[in-house]
Amino acid sequence: MKKQMLMVAGMASMLCLVACDVKDPKQYISQIDNKQVMPVVVPEGFKKITSVAKKGNEILIPFTKYQLDNGLTVILHPDNSDPLVHVDVTYHVGSGREDPGKSGFAHFFEHMMFQGSENVADEQHFGLITESGGTLNGSTNTDRTNYYETVPSNQLERMLWLESDRMGFFLDAVTKEKFENQRETVKNERGQNYDNRPYGLLRERVGEALFPEGHPYSWSTIGYIEDLNRADLNDLKKFFLRWYGPNNATLTIGGDMDEAQTLVWIKKYFGGIPRGPEVKKPKYTQVTLDQDRYISMEDNVNLPLVYMAFPTVHVNHPDEAPLDVLMSILGSGKTSLLYKNMVKNGKAVQANANHSCAELSCQFVLLALPTPGNTLSELETIIRASLEEFENRGGAKDDDIERVKAGIVSDMVYGLESVSGKVSQLAAYETLRSNPDGIGDDIARYENVTKDDVMRVYKTFIKDKHSVVMSIVPKGQAKSIIKADTWQRYERTIPENTGDNNLVLRPGVSDFDRTVIPSPGENPSIKVPDIYRVEIKNGVKVLGAVNEEVPTTTIQLRIPAGQTREGIDKLGVASITASMLEENTLKSTSEELSNQLQKLGSSVSFSAGDNFTTLSIRTLSKNIDPTLVIAMERLTSPKFDTADFERLKKQQIEGLKNAKKNAGSMATEIFSKLVFGYNNSFAHSNSGTIATVEKLTLEDVKAFYTANYGPANAEVIVVSNVNSESMTKHLQTLNNWTGQSSQMPMLNTFPQLAAGTLYFIDKPDAAQSEIRIGKRALNYDATGEYYRADLMNYNLGGAFNSRINLNLREDKGYTYGARSLFNGNDFRGVFRAQAGVRADTTADSILQFRNEINAFKENGLTDEELTFMKRAIGQRDARAYETPNQKLRFLSEIMTYSLDKTFVDDQNTILANIDKAELNLLAAKHLKLDEMITVVVGDKAKVMESLKPMFEKIVELDAEGATL
């Protein structure tokens, strides 16, 4: 989880805290964004705790905090800028509340809470929210579990009904079948995200070594498989009864709401839920080590890794802030010591620092991955020397403090761009600080950090202190660890289960019929963003939208210099050229520019895709001009330094090697090459191939830049609170940009697919198999058959409640998630079904994919599915244009395909009028299994025999896709 402080800190002078004192506790005047609104009547059973309102342009999140008689904390943040609401229920329980031998319960319970409750049927929770045009999820960490959804504003009452039903009316709906199914799903999640992922077990092993046995941070949030296997249904129910009472929960709502009506609904749906057992704050105990603990493991990785973790304090401790500043100086970005001492000189592909904080402990982490020819022992020596360098140079500089504080303020502002972001911050602050206005605390503590503070915490927690030092090395390279392990994994002591198995239930009460699903109100009015078009003097076209909600600006300059401009023998040159533009210029070093950007709170980056290289700019609007100056310096006057090129080339090669260890990305890339042809550049990874990148020269980069990096056919899309006239003036800096451009080359003919063939790539010891089934399909068309085919696929594999996902995940428990999709642009299109599945289910998973695809092709969708699809897609536009990034995606679609913004109206007309017959014809046309190929990346020894009867032809490939 990203450090909370990075999203919500700033300067003390910006703080405004307003406590509203009123004689009548049932009503008060609400001040939101400086506007005085009608008095809010507070229902009986509530008490108002406090409220915070804006008086000027200060940076804060307005809210009012209440508490119900049953202990439920309620935080409301009205925001009518978009017709949506975000609802978050956070329970103060994470893996840190678990007992030894019962790891993973909090995360397991996160899954169970989506499986229906007393008045909500199995799968209905997902179905109702998706049908409402909303999105939902949950997350678990060491300290809390939260459940959240973003929906059109007319769906708020329904969300409160859903959340209250699983808070107060859950246990009677828990069945053995649901329990076993979700146990398998969690195992698949562990397999996909931990066991089958490079470095996936890193933090679990470090936690075991860093914390004493039995400490709740000594195991990972997902838990151990053996603990999940040992759990029974009664264990789960007891966990719910202990931690899931309203007095251990915070309900936070932000968005377009009637505050008085919202309080009435909250009282109605949550008021009858009884309190749970009292919950006290966990007790913090300082973690110390009596010596350095060296540990190691072999993993299916390409590059070794050194990971050094020091125990420090806990979240919100006074020393957290100066430790964060120390972290930035040592290992954040190109201004850091680790970058200078390891990455800049080519000794490491990556080197950085982190200070991750949680309720019971923080870890100060220093990590690095060496380039070939350098050892982990050498990197450890450099890390320790970098710590000494920090001390010998006198610690933090004024420049360091200024840079870090500027980054904190800008990150805080960016965090206010969405209602979900603001709600998440309010909920997190309340849970961990009992004060939703934690922004104020962070402003003060980071504003007050001094150079002496940074040196003090360095000497207190880092200098001459012990740490856990982990070596991860490729399999078969055990001799390359830093030193022999000085600490061994222990046989865990599992306490005997002597607890009372008698469950004391707390049935909720209601004075209404809970079986009746609340009807949504009238659909909100959805306004597509107004757009403007201008053209600056050198012909660059600009498409923009004004976003007045936050003082930020996001700009994308798209240059037709993407992968399609590469020759097949120069694969990767577009990517490495983009990377070179972030290095030294003819005027400045990359470190100098990075330092300037951090002080501005801005970012400037380049990335290469299929068609375009994109210059992405994000800045506070007050800093547009200096940020654009830096961006144009990088774009127009790169130094193309030989040392930079050699370093980046090595990094790109190592990144490609590491990607070959990721079964998911390998399966998708090889599928793409088979479908679109090995001789088409865009079918390959954007980074190229190991063979082609090894042959690239600096002259290749210069030639690619000269041929493609000109203003002709370049496009700008921008979202800002600055109006079009002012933005046009800001963009005049582009007028000095000159250079050549190239035309889109002809594509090579796509290959004839060997339909029905299985292409298999062996990944020994893989816990899961990655499956891709599909073929070429339609190119993008906003209002044509492509759009209609996407509507058709929605019920097959485009939603959580789709047939494919319900079968493979919810019914069979084979996977963490399965889907199908149509994806296309103006020159290629594909249909692909995919999943990562448990290895022993590979053959049957392919069979289930086939059955679902074929049944949909033969029989089409049902009346209920048609209604579900129309409701879900018809209402999701309410959350389509909220943030600057969402507006950018909308503008990008218009710009790329020469659309008018009215294409959205045309799509809505198609959606309203399309019928089952047309969709079924599309399914019959595009879902022909006898036109599809199958790609599997998995352990041949485990799965090949079960696959042989299913395919007439099996072709084995290597990791690059070459035939063996």
pLDDT in tens, 397-447: 999 999 988 888 888 889 889 999 999 999 999 999 999 998 878 878 888
**901 falls within a domain:** yes
Distance from C-alpha of 720 to C-alpha of 399, rounded to nearest angstrom: 29
Indicate if the pLDDT at residue 57 is higher than 80: no
What's the pLDDT score for residue 411?
A: 86
What's the pLDDT score for residue 404?
A: 86
Q: What is the mean predicted confidence (pLDDT) over 149-164?
A: 96
Q: Helix 398-414 and helix 320-331: axis angle, to 10°?
A: 100
Enumerate the H helices of 553-709 as residue ranges: 573-580, 590-600, 624-636, 642-659, 663-676, 690-695, 698-708
What's the pLDDT score for residue 476?
A: 94
Confidence of residue 7 (pLDDT cuts 50, 70, 90): very low
Enumerate the H helices of 132-210 as residue ranges: 156-168, 176-190, 202-210
Whole-number average pLDDT of the chain: 92
Q: What are phi and psi of 414, to 5 degrees?
A: -60, -30
Query: 10 Å Cβ neighbour count for 571?
Result: 25
What is the per-residue pLDDT across 572-601, written as a single tens digit (0 to 9) for each? Answer: 999 999 999 999 999 999 999 999 999 999
Query: Is 766 found in the same domain as 724?
Result: no
Confidence of residue 172 (pLDDT cuts 50, 70, 90): confident
Query: Is 676 found in the same domain as 577?
Result: yes
Query: Is 769 found in the same domain as 665?
Result: no
* pTM over the 0.85 mark: yes
Distance from C-alpha of 448 to C-alpha of 324, rounded to nearest angstrom: 13
**524 falls within a domain:** no
Q: Which residue has the tokens 């127009």?
A: 636
What's the pLDDT score for residue 38?
A: 59
Distance from C-alpha of 809 to C-alpha of 796, rounded to nearest angstrom: 14
Name the more confident of 944 and 525.
Answer: 944
**782 falls within a domain:** yes
Confidence of residue 505 (pLDDT cuts 50, 70, 90): confident
Query: Is 577 found in the same domain as 457?
Result: no
Indicate if the pLDDT at residue 31 is higher than 60: no
What's the pLDDT score for residue 499?
A: 57
Query: Is 801 found in the same domain as 707?
Result: no
Q: What is the CATH number of the domain that holds 622?
A: 3.30.830.10
Query: Is 946 found in the same domain as 824?
Result: yes
Confidence of residue 761 (pLDDT cuts 50, 70, 90): very high
Domain count of the fold of the chain: 3
Distance from C-alpha of 761 to C-alpha of 81, rounded to nearest angstrom: 50
Q: What is the mean predicted confidence (pLDDT) over 58-71?
A: 93
Distance from C-alpha of 785 to C-alpha of 241, rounded to nearest angstrom: 51
710: containing domain: 532-736
Q: What are phi and psi of 855, to 5 degrees?
A: -65, -40
Query: Is 604 found in the same domain as 716?
Result: yes
What percentage of the chain's residues is helix, strand, coil (to nearest 5)? 45, 20, 40
What is the per-residue pLDDT across 613-654, written as a single tens digit (0 to 9) for each? Answer: 999 999 999 999 999 999 999 999 999 999 999 999 999 999
What's the pLDDT score for residue 864?
A: 96
- Give Cα 899 to chain centroid, integer Å: 29
Confidence of residue 55 (pLDDT cuts 50, 70, 90): confident
**213 falls within a domain:** no
**461 falls within a domain:** yes
Indicate if the pLDDT at residue 24 is higher than 80: no
Q: Which of 701, 736, 771 is the last residue of a domain?
A: 736
Query: Is 559 found in the same domain as 705?
Result: yes
Nearest CA among 766, 850, 767, 780 for reference residue 808: 850
**474 falls within a domain:** yes
Q: Which of 121-130, 195-204, 521-530 has the lowest mean pLDDT?
A: 521-530
Portion of the chain with pLDDT greater than 90, in percent: 82
Indicate if the pLDDT at residue 904 is higher than 80: yes
Q: What is the mean predicted confidence (pLDDT) over 733-737?
A: 93
Bridging pattern class, strands 249-255 and 73-78? parallel
Query: Is 709 found in the same domain as 587?
Result: yes
Q: Which residue has the tokens 């405004």?
A: 16
Q: What is the mean predicted confidence (pLDDT) over 926-930?
A: 97
Query: Is 463 found in the same domain as 391?
Result: yes
Nearest CA among 155, 51, 237, 891 for reference residue 518: 155
What's the pLDDT score for residue 109?
A: 87
CB–CB of 791/869 below 8 Å? yes
Portion of the chain with pLDDT greater than 70, in percent: 95
Q: Which of 176-180, 481-485, 854-858 has the lowest mean pLDDT?
A: 176-180
Q: Which residues contact 430 (CB under 8 A, 6 or more apart)?
A: 65, 73, 75, 90, 250, 252, 436
**785 falls within a domain:** yes
What's the pLDDT score for residue 501?
A: 64
Distance from C-alpha of 902 to C-alpha of 202, rounded to nearest angstrom: 50
- Report the chain's C-alpha Rg in angstroms: 28
Indicate if the pLDDT at residue 97 is higher than 90: yes
Indicate if the pLDDT at residue 503 is higher than 90: no
Q: What are phi and psi of 823, to 5 degrees?
A: -140, 130
What's the pLDDT score for residue 500?
A: 57
What is the per-residue pLDDT across 887-903, written as a single tens digit (0 to 9) for each? Answer: 999 999 999 999 999 99
Query: Is 762 found in the same domain as 727?
Result: no
Indicate if the pLDDT at residue 15 is higher than 70: no
Q: Which of 371-385, 465-479, 869-883, 909-923 has the lowest mean pLDDT?
A: 869-883
- In order, the DSSP letters of 850-887 are HHHHHHHHHH---HHHHHHHHHHHHHGGGGSSSSHHHH
Q: What are phi and psi of 222, to 5 degrees?
A: -75, -20
**491 falls within a domain:** no
What's the pLDDT score for residue 26?
A: 33
Query: Is 689 found in the same domain as 596?
Result: yes
Q: What is the mean predicted confidence (pLDDT) over 313-327?
A: 95
What's the pLDDT score for residue 123?
A: 87
